[in-house]
């Protein structure tokens, strides 16, 4: 206790895999909060962590780089706490469910104007109307990601884009005909056979049939497939 997040992440933990940019760290377990890179010098003590909107909680840390979608991360943690709710408190039982539904819509590319404000309103009602620690802290991942990464929510809702390229409904895989050598590896890897093209000729992905599994992207050795 007392050392900084930076010392733990880079000193004790050895830094980010592949030296990718540090984006955020989620503290305190599933109902903890997400602390952004600009607060990496925050000391790990109860008072300092609480000021960020996170909690010490279980003492766990989930370190995230630039490939993490913060909206999807909030959805992931809320999905867990929603399932863990005992159901006694109406706000926790129904509030977390409604919040999860909104986050699922946003990550599916169906976000609407006012969703962010509704998430914030529901979050505070769940915190204030719950009797136990689960309901009182369940909204933390949502509130902290909105506070520190509001632009990602706005991109998902207004621009229908996921800058981290993690929300499958908001991305598409495209083959660059200039780089494609027609090796057919991507076509063979595709589980739904949506990639067409002759051998040694540029291939094409049928966007309507693509299920966004990413198999083609992982198999291509010529960097001919990009995620847009």
Answer yes or no: do 102 and 208 share one domain. no
- Regarding whether 73 and 22 lie in a shared domain, the answer is yes
| pLDDT for residue 81 | 94
Q: Give the tokens for residue 55.
A: 């909690």
Nearest Cα to 57, choosing from 89, 35, 86? 35
Task: Assess contact for 102 and 118: CB atoms under 8 A.
Answer: yes
Packed helices 115-129 and 140-154: angle between N→C axes, nearest 10 degrees = 180
Collapsing DSSP states into helix, strand and coil, what is residue 34? strand
- Rounded Cα–Cα distance for residues 111 and 107 (Å): 7
Residues 6 or more apart whose CB falls under 8 angstroms from that of 214 comprise 173
Inside any domain, residue 81: yes
Asked if 211 and 110 sit in the same domain, the reply is no
Whether residue 167 is contained in a domain is answered as: no
Print pLDDT tens along the chain (228 aa).
889 999 999 999 999 999 999 999 999 989 999 999 999 999 999 999 999 999 988 788 999 999 999 999 999 999 999 999 999 999 999 999 999 999 999 999 999 999 999 999 999 999 999 999 999 999 999 999 999 999 999 999 999 999 999 999 999 999 999 999 999 999 999 999 999 999 999 999 999 999 999 999 999 999 999 998
CATH code where residue 212 lies:
3.30.70.20
Same domain, 142 and 214: no
Specify if 166 maps to a domain: no
Number of domains in the chain: 2
- My answer on whether 41 and 127 are in the same domain is yes
| Full residue range of the structural domain in which residue 191 is found | 172-227
- The CATH number of the domain holding residue 110 is 1.20.1440.230
């Amino acid at each position: 206790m007392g050392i900084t997040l930076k010392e733990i992440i880079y000193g004790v933990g050895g830094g980010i895999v592949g030296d990718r940019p540090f984006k955020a760290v989620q503290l305190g377990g599933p109902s903890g909060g997400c602390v952004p890179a600009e607060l990496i010098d925050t000391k790990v003590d109860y008072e300092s962590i609480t000021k960020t909107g996170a909690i010490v909680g279980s003492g766990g840390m989930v370190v995230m780089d630039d490939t993490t979608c913060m909206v999807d991360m909030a959805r992931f943690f809320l999905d867990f706490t929603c399932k863990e709710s005992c159901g006694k408190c109406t706000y926790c039982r129904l509030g977390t469910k409604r919040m999860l539904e909104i986050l699922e819509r946003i990550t599916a590319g169906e976000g609407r104007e006012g969703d962010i404000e509704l998430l914030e309103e529901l979050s505070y009602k769940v915190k204030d109307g719950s009797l136990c620690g689960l309901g009182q802290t369940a909204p933390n991942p949502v509130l902290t990601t909105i506070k520190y990464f509001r632009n990602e929510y706005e991109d998902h809702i207004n621009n229908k884009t996921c800058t981290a390229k993690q929300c499958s409904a908001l991305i598409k895989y495209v083959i660059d005909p200039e780089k494609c050598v027609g090796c057919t590896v991507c076509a063979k890897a595709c589980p739904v056979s949506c990639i067409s093209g002759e051998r040694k000729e540029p291939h094409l992905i049928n966007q309507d049939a693509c299920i966004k599994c990413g198999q083609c992207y992982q198999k291509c050795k010529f960097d001919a497939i990009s995620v847009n």
